[in-house]
Structures are given as structure tokens and as C-alpha cells.
Chain A
Amino acid sequence: MRRALLAITGLAAGTTALVVLKGSPGASQVATGERSPVVPAGSDPAALPGVAPTPDPSDPALSARATPGGRQSPTGRAGADAPRPAAPAPTTSAPRSTLRTVSGPQVTYEYGTLSVQITLSGTRIVNATGIGMPQSGQSGRRSDDVQATYSGTSGEVVRKQSADLDTVSDATATSEAYQRSLRAAIDRAR
């Protein structure tokens, strides 16, 4: 029994030590310094290249989680680390979690060329969008379908936090090209 008590104490102490080591502000300087581009969460996400305007431009990280219904699809939030912003509005000068953007490679497919750009907060994907997709005619409709299903702060990418997406019906080639670029982007980001 003494050993069990020791083990439980060790568990508590170990967990605390790990959290403290990771959470120490000293380490955060190093972490943010090595990531680029570093964009403060409070800035206008529209300024980020390739990031589609979000419903709540004041804080995309938050809006990704808090949709009008009050919540995202649960697996999305739990699926990855989600450093939670402390306040809903960027009024405080306290350090906020940083956003970074990562682009996937250009993927050429039947109807054109696309690349996927994802925005991450920590390791969590908070936004995704396809760039350079054909806009006209039948291919444009496919592009729109895929964009509507996958992209955005409440799209399937953000919900699933992975490149394993359901293929959009009647837009298989576009879906696959999107997923390929997305997978590379995620690999690059992590």
C-alpha cells in the first residue's frame, strides 16, 4: 500500500511538473520565435494571405470553436490541442495563442491546379481554404462544392483535424487533389 501511495504522489507530482515545464512563459519565447509567420490572434485574419474572412474576424481561433450554436462538432475540438484564448475580445495585452499559416503544395488535377492553405493555432487547425481552384463552369461548381464542404472555420478539415475527409460526391478529382495538398500541409505544420 505504501508503494501505491508513492505511485499516486509520483503521478500527481509528475503531471504537475510536466505541465509547469511546458507552460512556463520562458519557454514560450523560444517557441514563438522559431515559428513564422507569427501573427497575433487579435489581428485581422483578413490580412493573412489566403485566409478566408471568418464570421468573427476579431478572433478566428475562438470563432472556430464557438459557432452560433455554441459549439463545434465535438470531435473537432477534442481532436487536437486547443490552447484556449482567455478572453473573447482582444482588449487585453496579455500574450495570446499565435496563429500560423501553412500552405500545401500545388496539386494539378483534371480541371486545374489548387493548393490548400491551413491556419493553425498551436497544433490545432482553425481554418482551411483551397487556393487557385477553377471558378468557372462545371469545374467551378465542383470547386465551390468542395470548398463549402471542406474549407472554412467550421468545415470538415477543422472538424476532423486531419486529411482523411469524406470525398465530396460528384467532385472526386477535386476532393482528392484537395486532400493531397492538405495532407502535405498538415505534415509540414506538425
Chain B
Amino acid sequence: MTYQDTWAAGRRTGTTPRHGGRPAAPVSPTPAPPRRGPGGRRALALLFWAGLVAAVLPWWLDTPAGSMKDTGDLLTAAGRITGLVAGYLLLVQVLMMSRLGALERWVGGERISRLHRDVGATLLVAVLAHLSLLLVAYAEADEQSVLGEVGVLLRDYEDLLSAFVAAGIMVLVGLTGIRAIRTVMPYELWYHLHLASYAALLLGFGHQFSNGAQLHSPGPVRTGWIAAYLLVLAALLWGRVVAPLHFNLRHRLRVADVVAESPDTISIYLTGRRLNQIDMLGGQYFRWRFLARGCWWQSHPFSLSAAANGRWLRLTVKVVGRHTADLRDLDPGTRVWAEGPSGTFTAAHRTKERALLIAGGSGIAPLRAMLEELPPGAALIYRARTPADVLMHPELDWLAQARHTSVWYVIGSRDDPGPRQVMSPDGLRRLVPDVARRDVYLCGPAGLVEESVRALRAAGIPRRQIHLATFEL
């Protein structure tokens, strides 16, 4: 079944509604936030590459040209390069997880976690290459078997035992990052293994200086490398401890009410102090920690489902697991620890003046908040399995009118002809003729997002105009 919202039936964006009655509000109540270009992200990318060059440069400058005469030398050199790269990437990995405000707002948590996974895979390969190249090179130099050399390294070299442990931790963390393995293991185990990667950072620290050719002797390189470590630790401390502490002491969020939106979806309203001073945008998310029995030790990212209004915050959550089920029983007054706001899934990151929003199920939450801030003339396609799954229907209708937004509810399972037709390139073009000149914001289950991206790309929408919010990797 495919039907258009009755309020906006047949309405083209920006025209007066035909159903008579009150005309849509001529002025938007809140102006759209100014655009945040990709400048910050590009600067960070530049910084990353500059850092990579700076990490390998000492080797380049230290090594006399033509000094490598045999296989052993070549292996040693390659081992050193991969070691320097691995050391640098490890720092980048930790930095990406530091939840530094600038990173979260410029790059966005979702993109960060994808980058974290990709850089992680590269790091793992770099570490293993570093380890095996040097092992083979040293074994050849010492005329030992490779296994014998492992013994020699562990016994005679400073800090190499801890370095081996660090490599082991990284291998474990890397393996558990593989999707197939990750899905079958309990979240807690995965989480604690990832915590252990901080230990890898510390355990791997020593051998870089006691055995690293470029870092052993005091000088600017060694100082710079230590400074990089200290900077990352400072960023970690700031992003994980200081900034959240400041935010929460300042705003002191508490649960005001828990409201059922549908049989399996709840909205949690929060109040606090100085809420009008939170610099947040619709579509961003916080990591929430509800300080109630059984919930306090878990922190989960949920999007805000209403734009900033200075009086309350709202998040809308689908009950899917034990934690979310417990959230239904939160008592008003429960303290909430929040970290954020994060994310680049906002109206400020638009590249065009108009937008198309595609929501699937509870993915409507961030889009609903964003609708309040997008320039007039947006379009929303809301996919839901049954009419009962449509959340916040009255609000959406009100927004459709107040913000000149066309809303289409596309109801049915993925294989029904209606939704299939709408979610095809042709269907999208028919519904929104200027779709190629719009930003497209997608939020919903991974399957829907993937399918929609394919259709959108086929309909000729450039990748940079497609904004995604999926937390499943």
C-alpha cells in the first residue's frame, strides 16, 4: 500500500496546499542553521597524511642511500617502515576513539567508526608485517631459526616481551572486529577486548624507544614521537573525561517522562539546566548513560528526535534488546549522563538548498528533529512495515505544514510492489523530480539504507549529497 499523507495530498513543494484551511506557515519558525562545509574534515585529512609522512620521514633521513646491500637489510628497512607506520596508525586509532568534540562534529561518529575499522585492518597488517619482517631479518643476521630468534628477542631485548603481548592483543582485537566473529560473540567480551587495546598502546610504547632505530637516540624525532603520544593521551582525557564532566555538571540532565510512541517504541523526555545553551543540531546524537539500576554501566548512542527548544530534550528508542527494554521502566528524576552532541547528520551539513529524507521505521527520530531545521521545501519518504509502525504521525503532519515539507508514507514489506516501485530509481525520480539536486538523508535499518543508496546512485545523485546514519557496521 502506498499513500501520500492526507494533509499534503498532491502538494508540490512550495505551493499552497489545495485542501484549503490555514495556509502553511509562510515563514519558518527557526531559520536553517548556517552550513558547515567540509573544511574541517579536509583539514583533518590533511593532518592525517602530514602525520603519516612525518612518521616515516625520520627513517628516510636516517638511512644513507644505498646502504642496503642484502636481503636482510631490505627486510630490516621494510620492518622499520611498517613499524613506524603501525606506531602512527595506532595513535590515530586511539585518537579517533577519543570522542574529541571537533572530531565528532567535523567527521561524525558514523564515519569515524567506519574509518576506525578500515584503519584498524591496516594497522593489524602493518603490525604483523613489522613483526615478521624484523623477525626474519634478525634471524638471518643471527643465523638462528625464526622460532629460535623469537626466544632470543624475548630473552635478550628490552621491552620486547611487552611488545609481543601488545601485538597479541591487537591481533585479538582485530580478529574480533571481523563482522562474522563479532556477531556471534557477546558484546561485553568484544567491549572488554577493545578496552585492552589501551594496554596495547602502553605495552607497545617501550620497545619503540629501547629498540627503535629512529627513536632510540634523543633528538627532535624522539621528542616529537613522545609528544604525539602525550597529545593523544591528552585528547583521550579531554574527550572522554573532561568534556563530558563539564557538560553534565553544567546541564544535569534528568529523565522527565517516558512515553510510548508505539507498542515497541518509546520516547524519553529529559530536562536539565541551561538547555538553551547546548550547541546541538537536529540529527545529532548523544551517548546516553542512564544512571539507574542495571543500566548505568552501558552507554548507547541515540539520536535526538526533536530539535533544540531550550526546554527539553527527547530521544526516541526502539525496544530491541535487554537494555532498551529496561529503559521503559526508567523513573522520572533518574539522572542521565550524556556525551555529545556528535554527528554530521544535520541540516548544517547540507550541500544543496533542498533535501530528501528517507526514514525506515524508528530511523525517523533524527530526521524528525532535522525537519525543524531544514530549509523549507524538503521531502520525506517514510518507510514502515505497517501503519501501526508509523511513529510521531501528528508531529510529522504538523511539520509538513509548518515547514513546507512533502511527506510520503510508504507502507508495506520490502517485497511488496508498492514500496519496491517507490524505492527504485524511477520511483524516486517520479516522486521527487529534482532528486539529483537535493541532499538525501538516510536513516533506518542497514538493509533499507543499502538498497536506497543503490537506487539513489542509479538515479544520478552524487555520493557527497548522500548522508547516512547507520550505527551497524
Binding site for B on A (CB under 8 A): 1, 3-4, 7-8, 11-12, 14-16, 18-19, 22-32, 65, 70-71, 73-75, 77-86, 94-97, 122-123, 161-162, 164, 186, 190
Contacts and interface: CB of A to CB of B under 8 A. Distances in A.
B66 A80 contact: no
B82 interface: yes
A23 B77 contact: yes
B324 to A, nearest CB: 29
B73 A23 contact: yes
Contacts of A164: 218
Given A12-B129, A15-B78, A94-B69, 4 more contacts: A19-B78, A28-B67, A74-B211, A75-B216
Interface stretch (B16-24, B120-128, B250-258, B418-426): B120-128
Q: Which of B60, B67, B69, B158 has the most CB of A within 10 A?
A: B67
A134 B151 CA distance: 44
B194 interface: no
A158 B300 CA distance: 54
Chain B's interface size range is 35 or more
Interface string B32-75: 00000000000000000000000010011011111111101110
B70 A86 contact: yes
Interface in B97-121: 114-115, 117-121
Contacts of A123: 62-64
A186 B65 CA distance: 19
A95 B59 CA distance: 22
B191 interface: no
CB-CB nearest 3 A-B residue pairs: A28-B66, A27-B65, A23-B68
B217 interface: yes
Interface of B: 56, 59-60, 62-70, 72-74, 76-78, 81-82, 85, 114-115, 117-122, 125-126, 129, 141-142, 152-153, 156-158, 210-213, 216-218
A7 B152 CA distance: 33
A70 B156 CA distance: 12
A81 B74 contact: no
Q: Which of B59, B68, B115, B156 has the most CB of A within 10 A?
A: B68
Contacts of A74: 152-153, 156-158, 211
A32 B66 contact: yes
B78 A85 contact: no
Given A7-B118, A74-B158, A80 B213 contact: yes
A31 B67 CA distance: 9
Given A8-B122, A8-B125, A16-B78, A78 B211 contact: yes
Given A18-B81, A123-B62, A162 B218 contact: yes
B93 to A, nearest CB: 12
A78 B142 CA distance: 12
Given A4-B121, A15-B82, A75 B158 contact: yes
A19 B76 CA distance: 10
A36 to B, nearest CB: 14
A18 B82 contact: no
B217 A18 contact: no
A33 to B, nearest CB: 11
B76 to A, nearest CB: 8
A152 B76 CA distance: 25
Q: Which of A28, A75, A83, A94 has the most CB of B within 10 A?
A: A83
Contact of A122 (B60, B67, B153, B218): B67
Q: Which of B117, B157, B217 has the most CB of A within 10 A?
A: B217
Contact of B213 (A30, A81, A86): A81
Given A11-B122, A18-B60, A31 B65 contact: yes
Nearest to A35: B64
Given A15-B81, A74-B157, A162-B217, A97 B69 contact: yes
Given A7-B122, A8-B125, A80 B216 contact: yes
